[in-house]
Amino acid sequence: MPIHPSRREFALALAAAAAAACAPRARVEAPSSVPTPTTPSTVTSAPGPDPSPPGTDELVAFIRKRYGAVVPAEQLAQLPKPVGHVLQLSERLRKVPLPNDVDPFSVCPAKVGSAP
């Protein structure tokens, strides 16, 4: 996503973040069989792109259904990458420990009796 996103890109990222917060967590089950490890000499292809986080496909489908009529097709094709990025960021935020006495925002109280 660019440093200065357009309003449409910002709204799309905001919708993805809101959908990520509301969506149920995907359950990932371990495979039943353990694959055999490969040595570097037996690897024939380069590793693929980073796998998208769980729930990306569901959120992309939700966004396509909700906003598909107004968002151009080329932007819809690019949805999985920013949605996956938002999901990765939300997961990183969930891992940040917050003690019980930390407020989520700062409060700047006004002085009583002072004129502006």
pLDDT in tens, 9-61: 888 887 887 777 766 665 556 556 656 666 665 555 555 566 788 888 999 99
Q: 0.85 cut: is pTM over it?
A: no
Task: Name the residue among 69, 65, 60, 50 with its Cα closest to residue 23.
Answer: 60
Give the model's pLDDT for residue 100: 73
Give the model's pLDDT for residue 17: 78
Q: How many CB atoms lie within 10 A of CB 74?
A: 7
**Any alpha helices (H) in the chain, and if so which ranges?**
7-22, 56-67, 73-77, 80-94
pLDDT band at 71 (very low <50, low <70, confident <90, very high): confident
Map out the domains of the chain as residue ranges. 53-96
- How far apart CA 45 and CA 35 sit, in angstroms, is 17
The pLDDT mean for the chain works out to 75
pLDDT greater than 70 at residue 114: no
Residues of the chain with pLDDT > 90, as a percent, come to 12
Backbone dihedral angles phi then psi of residue 85, each to the nearest 5 degrees = -65, -45
Q: How many CB atoms lie within 10 A of CB 37?
A: 6
Q: 15 near 68, Cβ under 8 Å?
A: no
Residues of the chain with pLDDT > 70, as a percent, come to 59
Q: Which amino acid type is present at position 84?
A: G
